[in-house]
Structure 1
Amino acid sequence: MTEVSLGMPQTPAPPYPDDVRARLEADAAEVIARYPDSRSALLPLLHLVQSEEGYVTRTGMQFCADVLGLTTAEVTAVATFYSMYRRKPSGDYQVGVCTNTLCAVLGGDAIFADLQQHLGVGNGETTEDGKVTLEHIECNAACDFAPVVMVNWEFFDNQTVESARQLVDQLRAGEQVTPTRGAPLCDFRKTARILAGFPDERPGAVAAGGSAGPASLAGLRLAKGQDAPARVTAPRAGEHPGGRNADAQGDAQTGTGSGRPPATHPSSHDAPQKSAASDPSNPTGPVTEEGK
């Protein structure tokens, strides 16, 4: 019976040169030693081979399979699942524009559209000089600073069309740019090696850092009792604007109010309303064709 290949390469991947393979094998051994099960090292090893050529090549996937005792199909399945692994040559700087909801409405969509036109590339494409690969990306968990642009996973916050255009122009010109927060910027290959778990040798990288903004930290402050809980300042229509018992007092004294019990917490005005299921005195009738 002839074995049928399902989308796998028909010819073996070209091997790394002997000196490159020896160097990568030494690095791979260091990575694998961190894990009780060698196959757990696949993700950092894919970053390692990506650092060699700027993307995950067939040769790189074959190398990972060899040192981990996996099939190329197993390695390919992982390499094609995660978006941080590039499958074709890409730029020195991966410029990602967040187009998730908050960033999008605050200008992310406009930034992404402008950069496509300015650079002359589409999503996931690289400029002719090989400097910049542009892509739209999902939430960067930095909504406080929207719209956010990332370059090799470093943050550039509160961007505008003009500032983003200036940023890519500086990158293409070889100028030094400084992220809003986080470590100093380096090219994509060096970033991939750092993600493989090797020491970050950028000056100031250890001391550099960042934090979520005030909005993201509000819940943490409340949990620690550092901020007073919010209170209802704008009740819904029909509710009495007074204190906790004002709604009940309104019903008793003026015949007005919602008829609901007094509020017991700041979000009581969001409590579920009466329904047929919870209010036997207001049952619903059978569904009819006319009522559908």
Structure 2
Amino acid sequence: MEHNQHKHYTQEINITPQLMERINELISHYPEGKQKSALLPVLHEVQDAHDNWLSIELQNKVAEILSIKPIEVYEVVTFYTMFNQRPIGKYMFEFCQTSPCCQRGVEDLMDYTCEKLGVKVGQPTPDMMFEVRGVECLGACGYAPMMQLGDFFQEHLTKEKIDQLIDDCKAGKITLHDK
């Protein structure tokens, strides 16, 4: 199943009272009239509360909450790779693809992981459990090759470590978030 990034995906918008309270708390960190400054942390909170992706409708809702134009939200969501514009695999293996990791074999590990999962880079598994993505520097060059899985770095990667991570994800042993 190929995923076309231009396809329109829909999702249920669920801005709970607890989420709205958190959004308002984030907005309160900025001067009055400067609520746009809260955009990045608000997008993170909203994405976390919506299966780790942001539909156009959800981006519009964020714009409404922050009293900004929808295009101001779209510009940020399309620029940063940490914001997802479509449903993604639950376990996103984000491999660093900059020079230190490439010199230490990250591209072979990405190919290995894709082959093991039966997918291409940027394509979730049919069960939406896994996805492999190449990203820019994650700032852990001394631990190459490395990747991020949820909020956590996986360092000094080998095929054996990849196999163990996949098995641990399937067994529900992997924590994705620091919260």
Class of the TM-score when normalised by the shorter of the 2 chains: 0.7 to 0.9
2:130 to 132, 136, 151: 132
Partner SS for 1:80: helix
Question: In the alignment, residue 151 of structure 2 is paired with which amino acid?
Answer: W
Using the alignment, how far apart are the partners of 1:24 and 1:57 within structure 2?
17
Q: Which residue of 2 aligns with 1:69?
A: 67
CA RMSD of aligned residues (A): 2.2
1:38 is matched with: 35
Q: What is the one-letter code of the residue matched to 1:147?
A: P
Matches within 5 A, 1:147-158: 147-158=145-156
8 Å contact kept, 2:11–2:55: no
Superposed displacement of residue 32, structure 1? 0.4
Q: Which runs of 5+ in 2 are unaligned?
A: 1-5
Task: Determine if contact 2:143/2:156 at 8 Å carries over to the other structure.
Answer: yes
Distance 1:15 1:70, change over 3 A: farther
- Counterparts in 2 of 1:102 and 1:64: CA distance versus 1, 3 Å: same
One-letter code aligned to 1:41: A
Q: Does 1:25 align with 2:17?
A: no
Aligned-partner Cα distance in 1 for 2:12–2:86: 18
Distance in 1 of aligned mates of 2:41 and 2:110:
30
Per the TM alignment, residue 119 of structure 1 is displaced from its structure 2 partner at its CA by: 0.7
Whether 1:47 and 2:58 are equivalent positions in the alignment is no
Residues 132 and 172, structure 1, Cα contact 8 Å, conserved in 2: no
Shift of 1:149: 2.1
**What is the letter of the counterpart of residue 119 of structure 2?**
V
Q: Is the 8 A contact 1:107 1:160 kept in 2?
A: no
In the TM superposition, what are the counterparts of 1:1-292 in structure 2 within 5 Å?
16=13, 20-36=15-31, 37-53=34-50, 54-174=52-172, 176-177=173-174, 185-186=175-176, 191=177, 200=179
Shift of the alpha carbon at 1:108? Answer: 0.6
Aligned in 2, Cα 1:116/1:15: closer, same or farther, shift over 3 Å? closer
Contact 1:99 1:137 in 2 (8 A): yes
Give the TM-score of the pair, scaled to structure 1. 0.53
Q: Deviations over 1:80-138 (max 9, x none)?
A: 11110001001222211122112112121110011111111112221122222211122
Please give the per-residue CA displacement for 1:200-238, whole angstroms capped at 9, x wherever unaligned: 3xxxxxxxxxxxxxxxxxxxxxxxxxxxxxxxxxxxxxx
Q: Give the partner amino acid of 1:102.
A: P
Per-residue deviation, 1:169:
2.7
Q: Which amino acid aligns with 2:71?
A: A
Output the CA distance in 2 between the equivalents of 1:25 and 1:170.
34
Q: SS of 1:112's equivalent?
A: helix
Distance 1:21 1:76 in 2: 22
Partner of 2:3: none
SS of 2:104's equivalent in the other structure is helix
CA contact (8 A) 1:149 1:157 kept: yes
Using the aligned pairs only, state the percent identity. Answer: 29
> 8 Å contact 2:146–2:156 — kept in the other structure?
yes
Distance 1:169 1:15, change over 3 A: closer
Tell me the matched-pair count: 169
Structure 1 unaligned segments of length 5 or more: list them: 1-6, 178-184, 195-199, 201-292
- Greater radius of gyration (CA): 1
TM-superposed deviation, 1:14: 8.1
Q: Is the alpha carbon distance of 1:14 and 1:138 closer, same or farther for their aligned partners in structure 2, counting shifts above 3 Å?
A: closer
Amino acid at match of 2:158: T
Contact 1:94–1:134 at 8 Å: present in 2 too? yes
Q: Which has the higher helix share?
A: 2
